[in-house]
Amino acid sequence: MFQTPTFEIAAQVWVWKAKGIWYFVTLPEDISTEIRNNYKQIAVMGMIPVTVTLGTSQWKTSLFNTKGKIAYILPLKKAIRTKENIQLDQILTIKIKPI
């Protein structure tokens, strides 16, 4: 039986300011390419559903494909940012598993 791998990344937190403030990290291009090539069949409107582990938190969300970019981005919801004390420009170690 195929075991879905967990990808571990280190990525910097950044903000997108449009209709509110959204915090994200960008996945490395090589991992984004591997996920796109192996999990596009589970994508819904270009988004890949994943389970994310960061510190003591674990949650389900989706990776977003950005138009014209190779890399996926991962949204960081406010409840997680608060619980894990996440700051802008902080480098995070995150585990991501497609589901």
Quick: pLDDT tens for 7-45.
Answer: 999 999 999 988 778 999 999 999 999 998 888 777 777
Within a domain: 11? yes
DSSP state of 61: E
Token code pair at residue 99: 């589901």
**pLDDT at position 68:** 73
pLDDT at 7: 98
Identify the pLDDT of residue 9.
98
Tell me which residue range forms the domain holding 13.
7-98
Position 1 in a domain: no
Q: pTM (2 decimals)?
A: 0.90
Is the residue at 65 inside a domain? yes
- Residue 2 in any domain: the answer is no
Distance CA 68, CA 91 (A): 24
The pLDDT confidence band at residue 3, using thresholds 50, 70 and 90, is confident
What CATH number did the domain enclosing 70 receive? Answer: 2.40.30.100
Mean pLDDT over all residues of the chain? 92
